[in-house]
A and B are shown apart, each in its own frame.
Chain A
Amino acid sequence: MDETNKKEQTTTHKIGIYLWIWGLLFVLSFFSYMVDWYQFQGLLRWSLILIFMFLKAGLIMAFFMHLFWERYALVNVLLWPMTAIACFIFLMVAEFKYTLFTRLFYFFVGG
């Protein structure tokens, strides 16, 4: 593909889609702030924080970073490595639980 062809073929998206995503990001950020404002606690707090976080991250990646319009060859190269991070998180959750257990155990029982 030569250079001149490439430029003519670049398409842009309507401004509406960007403004919609922009607005949604503001609303979602406001909701996450409200989670703290109303001092939700426990499972409700954590699930709300995670839902708003993933929605915001998804909107930014899909539309602002154009992943929604990219070919799967690029999208999959970027998203599959995230599973390694998920594995790492599970490993470290097991690790911190064990560390906390041994700390508390030896604080109270002694060496």
Chain B
Amino acid sequence: MSDPKIEGYEFKPGFSGMAADTASDQTMFKGVHWGKAMMWIFLLSDTFIFSCFLISYMKGRGSTPVEWPNPSEVFGLHVFGVDVPLLLIAIMTFVLITSSGTMALAVKYGYEKNRKMCGWLILATAIGGLTFVGMQAFEWSKLIHEGVRPWENPFGAPQFGSFFFMITGFHGTHVSIGVIFLFIYAYKTFAGHYDEQKRGWFTSIRGDYVEIEILGLYWHFVDLVWVFIFAFFYLW
């Protein structure tokens, strides 16, 4: 999204450009808003947290001689007299991808200064996220009713529960925090804080639609983590 032009600085493409940017004065990430760079650094650290969770899950699952519960059956739903494997998880995946798409469009319309469209799309993203958290709560209560606990479960290896609650719980927390911020930013967009360049609550810096892109980065990251959880925890 950065298409920068800085006076007196020649932008080179590719790796020579990277060397020149890194070795240049003052700023390494040319034309990148500082908030965006900081969000990326935060997401990088968050990547390491989720990687540690998934790697510990891999180690726990790989090192137990007891059979691992079959996720296809554990997360299956009984609908209209038919057992559908992983149905709820599939719907949750589609809801999250839908909300990711609306967020990407919100960023686009934000940069085009289309206030209403941007606001509605952020609101749609927030509602998608809320739906996701709701379905996750349903999934948790269903499994808890079936006797899944962090230390035991009726399906197989007892480690299953602790990894499940830890990983999906941490991801769900990220989604919930994202939903709260999406509602706040939807309000701020509708209220015109970015058009009027109004200052934020905790900052003296003027509002700009780049903040929507920063929020979008966080939201896409939540979707990205779900891609990995879906693959490793539910499908594997």
- Give complex CA distance A62, B107 in Å: 15
Q: In the complex, what's the smallest C-beta–C-beta distance from A37 to chain B, in angstroms?
A: 7
A3 to B34, CA, bound (A): 13
| Contact present for B108 and A39 (CB under 8 Å) | no
Partner of A93, one of B62, B64, B227, B228: B62
Residues of B contacting A109 with CB < 8 Å? Answer: none
Q: Is there a chain A Cβ closer than 8 Å to B90's Cβ?
A: yes
Fill in one digit per residue for B116-130: 1 if any A CB lies within 8 Å of its CB, else 0.
Answer: 000000000000000
**Docked complex: A47-86 residues within 8 A CB-CB of B:** 49-50, 52-53, 56-57, 60-61, 63-66, 69-74, 76-78, 81-82, 85
Q: List CB contacts (< 8 Å) of B191-236 with chain A.
A: 206, 208, 210, 213, 216-217, 220-221, 223-224, 227-228, 230-231, 234-236
Q: Would you mind naming 26 contact pairs between A and B with Cβ atoms under 8 Å apart?
A: A1-B7, A11-B111, A12-B108, A21-B104, A22-B97, A35-B235, A36-B234, A45-B235, A46-B236, A65-B220, A66-B213, A69-B1, A71-B2, A71-B11, A71-B18, A72-B14, A73-B29, A81-B44, A81-B47, A81-B48, A85-B47, A92-B59, A96-B58, A96-B61, A100-B65, A103-B64
In the A-B complex, list the 8 residue pairs whose CB atoms are closest, starting with the nearest: A96-B62, A72-B18, A99-B63, A73-B21, A22-B101, A53-B231, A96-B63, A66-B1
Question: Scoring B residues 26 to 47 as 1 if CB is less than 8 Å from chain A, else 0, what string do you get?
Answer: 0011111000010010001001
Tell me the chain B residues, 54-78 only, with Cβ under 8 Å from chain A.
Answer: 55-56, 58-65, 72
We find that the number of chain A residues with CB closer than 8 angstroms to chain B is 62
Check A53 against B3 for contact (C-beta < 8 Å): no
Please name all residues of chain A whose beta carbon is closer than 8 Å to the beta carbon of B94 when the two chains form the complex.
26, 29
Known: A26-B94, A72-B21. 6 other contacts (CB 8 A): A25-B101, A46-B236, A71-B17, A73-B28, A96-B61, A99-B59
Contacting residues of chain A (1-29) with chain B, CB-CB under 8 angstroms: 1, 3, 5-7, 9-13, 15, 18-19, 21-22, 25-26, 29
Residue from the list A18, A29, A60, A82 in contact with B224, Cβ < 8 A: A60
CB-based contact B220/A74 at 8 Å: no
